[in-house]
Amino acid sequence: MTLSLDILDRLIAFDTVSNRSNLDLISYVEDFLRARQFRVHRIPDLTEEKAGLYAEIGPQTDGGILLSAHSDVVPVEGQVWSRPPFQLTREGDRLFGRGTTDMKGFLAEMLGVADLASGKTLKAPLKLLISYDEEIGCVGIGRMKDRLKPLLGRPELAIVGEPTEMQVAVGHKGKRAYKAQITGQAGHSALAPRFVSALHIAVDYVAALRALQDGLEQNGSRDDSYDVPYSTIHVGRMRSGSALNIVPDSAEILFEFRHLAEDDPDCLAHRITEAANAVTAHYAQVANIELQSLAAYPGLATPLTNAAVTLARKWSGGQTCKVAFGTEAGFLSDLGIPTVVCGPGSMADQGHKPDEHISQTQLIKCSQMLIKAVGQLL
């Protein structure tokens, strides 16, 4: 536990908010793992200002266990902190700092168990994955995926260590996010009826998206394991207009849908496009809605009967659940790897909040789980 706390102290000191480089953290982790005889692969992004990491130790075979974490954290701007966000503060059982819960606490324990594994003769490999830009829609893992495929092989299971209070999450919804760029006609507001306001088109499109949402609620798939048991469409922002006396010729909407694993996201995307076409058809040739995909990640639906679930429950002592937030687990599942989400801390009570913190009790439980997992490899 002492080593993982020292590691966590170092990790929190790296300001890896998603709009900044994570290379200092990646270099630290890379040096840490290479010193322990891990085979390490750095996977840079196109800008070479960020990178992910894949590492393994033990026999170069299929099987084994994959542990996965992301390196980035959410911003602290606009939040009132009573403690320095990028400095680990210890107060009793609590450890404060940005990322302690989401999810550098798990990353620290992951590196701690890597240190343990390096002194053992493993019969199956221990595999580690660290991504970037998870907090802006799981963008990093999507960019890493093609490079990862030949490296990962087929682990027996993967544990994504997002905060679940050490419960074993077997499902979450997938997500697609969009920007709708809307074009109308500019004009003087005194003659407004002669023009097609982009804002009016935008309002009509929002109404169409709400109608789709109502249909999903009433007739779509349902899974009562979730707080909201159906797929959802959410409009988060609408911008238009520059002055009261100008009919706006442009507008912008940011929206998303979050879908159950049972609902085909391509089908939902098609219905969203059809809704845009139906709205613009009312305005002849003078209106346009252009949809741009901003981010996407797949959902997770690991069967309760899967051996990975049985093992994760055995090691963690947790019950199965499904979580409201998205993770990178769906990407790993899509690669054919049985995947669960299980990690220390509470997203609802601690993650993304000012004075983010985690309890040492939760970290100890996580450490115990990972030690048992490595024991499976001996």
Residue 51 backbone dihedrals phi, psi, to 5 degrees: -160, 155
* Full domain range(s) for residue 270: 174-297
Residues 60 and 137 in one domain: yes
In contact, 201 and 283? CB cutoff 8 Å: yes
Residues 48 and 8 in one domain: yes
Residues 243 and 317 in one domain: no
Residues 221 and 115 in one domain: no
CATH number where 289 lies:
3.30.70.360
Q: pLDDT tens for residues 68-107?
A: 999 999 999 999 999 999 999 999 999 999 999 999 999 9
Q: What is the pTM of this model?
A: 0.92
pLDDT confidence of residue 210? 97
Residues 277 and 312 in one domain: no
Residues 116 and 184 in one domain: no
Q: pLDDT tens for residues 180-225?
A: 999 999 999 999 999 999 999 999 999 999 999 999 999 999 999 9
Residues 185 and 293 in one domain: yes
CATH number where 79 lies:
3.40.630.10
- Helix then strand then coil, in percent of the chain rounded to 5, is 35, 25, 40
Domain boundary among 263, 297, 331: 297
Residue 158 backbone dihedrals phi, psi, to 5 degrees: -125, 140
Residues 109 and 206 in one domain: no
Residues 27 and 168 in one domain: yes
Residues 92 and 138 in one domain: yes
Give how many domains the chain has, as a whole number: 2
Q: pLDDT tens for residues 282-335?
A: 997 889 999 999 999 999 999 999 999 999 999 999 999 999 999 999 999 999
1 pLDDT more than 70: no
Q: Give 269-300 as a DSSP string.
A: HHHHHHHHHHHHHTTTTS-EEEEEEEEEE--E
Domain boundary among 275, 297, 319: 297
Residues 289 and 307 in one domain: no
Instruction: Determine if the peptide bond prior to 110 is cis (ω within 30°).
Output: no
Domain boundary among 297, 324, 358: 297
CA dist list (Å): 153 to 164, 170, 336: 27, 21, 10
Residues 31 and 165 in one domain: yes
pLDDT confidence of residue 336? 95
Q: Are strands 157-160 and 65-70 parallel, antiparallel or unpaired?
A: parallel
Q: pLDDT tens for residues 336-356?
A: 999 999 999 999 889 999 999
